[in-house]
Copies of this chain bind each other. A is one copy, B any other.
């Protein structure tokens, strides 16, 4: 009975607790399904992760290789640099001549085409340049393990007025610069920590120019050595350099050297530069009718300038203003120490001021002024005064096209001790110009331009020359219209 009862009870229980066993079975089934599903999901995840790990590893390896390759390529690519300045094209005048000069008996056109040009008096260059001038810079950079950097630069330049493609007979190709500069010098400390040292032949790093005149303010160059950026005070950096120059172009007098020692200081926006020079044998060079009364054997040259961060505080842009003074061999105020044909007593003073104002998206304006007074320059008793004023304006029309306008004026009062002349030079130029992007402003290049200029001057200047040489060329007669097709670029 108990058995019966028991059996019955079990059956009853089984009936009464279906959930228990059903649940047991259910749980069993569902859990095992879930577990199986989870395991499957995990397996799948593992498989995917295996693959992804490999993918990521390989991507990482590939990326590492790519980075190495890219870095090497970048190093390779950046260890070499190619830079250039170039202008080339065609200048025609209303007489059917190529250059404005025609017969080769007058000065060719260009920023130094006036009678005062021989003194370094420039006029606005736009539309006047007839030469094909090119500077090609090849640069090699390297870095030592200790962090010291070196830069090697060679500049090969050429300039001539021929329109022909083969110009071997007119070629002026020459090496204008070749130097090495060391920077980030690992063992330099204190005031010299950020100093750069160079030797070779170079244009001084801190030369600066008024582009519109094609005139440097100072152009110091030659062979020698120097140091830049010696920190003499909180805001005061100085350069020290020794440059050599040669006087005379005939090879026999090549050894008449001029040695120039320069100290160039930047104190905030102020610049003060002083150069002394000596050429002990200069007075022993051969003389002609156009030679100085007494050839100077030494000289001194100073520059005092202010580099403004705005257009005279009036508009966005920049402006620079200053004064240069020199005597003896230092009386050539731009090309420091480069002119050996100066009188012992030569004295010169030059003022300059120029700037660029970005008026708005359409208009930009750049006025420039330069004036010089010099005395006893070549012959004792000579006296030269000139002042140049130039304004260049650009008016953007499209992304690629702008009109460029230039007006230029020069006053000359010249007395070479034997004869004198005074008068004025005028130029007006309009130049439709194609650019990569007119948004780049005045100094964005390349420019492809067509320019029409009208130039005229006082008749009194036509046949006047500062030099007393018979072969010196005068300005010739004015009133010419010039047409130019020109490319100008730098990069």
Interface string of A184-205 (1 = CB under 8 A from B): 0111100000000111110100
Known contacts A42-B42, A257-B98, A487-B179; A249 and B198 CB within 8 A of each other: no
A35 on the interface (CB 8 Å rule)? yes
User: What is the CB-to-nearest-CB distance from A11 to chain B, in angstroms, rounded to a whole number?
Assistant: 10
Known contacts A46-B45, A63-B66; A249 and B169 CB within 8 A of each other: yes
Size of the chain A interface, CB-CB below 8 angstroms: 152
A351 on the interface (CB 8 Å rule)? no
- On whether the beta carbons of B400 and A225 are closer than 8 Å, the reply is no
Complex alpha-carbon distance, A18 and B102, angstroms: 123
Contacts of A491 in B (CB 8 A): 140, 142, 152
* CB-CB contacts below 8 Å: A412-444 with B: 434, 436-437, 440
User: What is the CB-to-nearest-CB distance from A401 to chain B, in angstroms, rounded to a whole number?
Assistant: 7
Known contacts A52-B53, A84-B152; A90 and B223 CB within 8 A of each other: yes
Complex alpha-carbon distance, A246 and B80, angstroms: 36
- In the assembled complex, 11 residue pairs joining A and B whose CB atoms fall closer than 8 Å, in A order, are A41-B42, A53-B55, A55-B57, A67-B69, A69-B70, A84-B152, A86-B200, A90-B222, A99-B255, A163-B224, A179-B487
Given A20-B20, A58-B60, 16 other A-B contacts at CB below 8 A? A10-B13, A59-B59, A63-B63, A66-B70, A86-B180, A89-B223, A89-B224, A89-B225, A103-B255, A134-B154, A140-B491, A163-B245, A164-B245, A167-B174, A179-B487, A199-B449
Interface string of A237-270 (1 = CB under 8 A from B): 0000011111001011111110100000000000
Chain B residue nearest to A490 (CB atoms) is: B152
- Choose among B77, B166, B200 the residue that contacts A174 (Cβ–Cβ < 8 A): B166
Chain B residue nearest to A222 (CB atoms) is: B163
A206 on the interface (CB 8 Å rule)? no
* CB-CB contacts below 8 Å: A20-49 with B: 20-21, 23-24, 27-28, 31, 34-35, 38-39, 41-42, 45-46, 48-49
A463 on the interface (CB 8 Å rule)? no
- On whether the beta carbons of B148 and A400 are closer than 8 Å, the reply is yes
A175 on the interface (CB 8 Å rule)? yes
- On whether the beta carbons of B485 and A224 are closer than 8 Å, the reply is yes
Contacts of A74 in B (CB 8 A): 69-70, 72-73, 76
Interface string of A128-151 (1 = CB under 8 A from B): 000010101010101011101110
Contacts of A199 in B (CB 8 A): 88-89, 448-449, 485-487
* CB-CB contacts below 8 Å: A90-110 with B: 90, 92, 96-99, 101-104
Listed from nearest, the 4 A-B pairs whose CB atoms lie closest are: A98-B257, A69-B70, A76-B77, A96-B280
Complex alpha-carbon distance, A9 and B5, angstroms: 10
User: What is the CB-to-nearest-CB distance from A146 to chain B, in angstroms, rounded to a whole number?
Assistant: 5
Q: What's the number of copies of this chain in the assembled complex?
A: 3
User: What is the CB-to-nearest-CB distance from A15 to chain B, in angstroms, rounded to a whole number?
Assistant: 9
A168 on the interface (CB 8 Å rule)? yes
User: What is the CB-to-nearest-CB distance from A481 to chain B, in angstroms, rounded to a whole number?
Assistant: 15
Known contacts A46-B45, A163-B245, A244-B98; A132 and B56 CB within 8 A of each other: no
Contacts of A171 in B (CB 8 A): 168, 172-175
- On whether the beta carbons of B165 and A86 are closer than 8 Å, the reply is no
A469 on the interface (CB 8 Å rule)? no
- Choose among B21, B24, B84, B225 the residue that contacts A448 (Cβ–Cβ < 8 A): B225
- Choose among B49, B59, B156 the residue that contacts A48 (Cβ–Cβ < 8 A): B49
Contacts of A485 in B (CB 8 A): 199, 223-225, 242
- On whether the beta carbons of B23 and A28 are closer than 8 Å, the reply is yes
- Choose among B20, B101, B170, B489 the residue that contacts A255 (Cβ–Cβ < 8 A): B101
A446 on the interface (CB 8 Å rule)? yes
* CB-CB contacts below 8 Å: A437-491 with B: 437, 440, 446, 448-450, 485-487, 489, 491
A293 on the interface (CB 8 Å rule)? no
* CB-CB contacts below 8 Å: A254-305 with B: 254-257, 259, 280-281
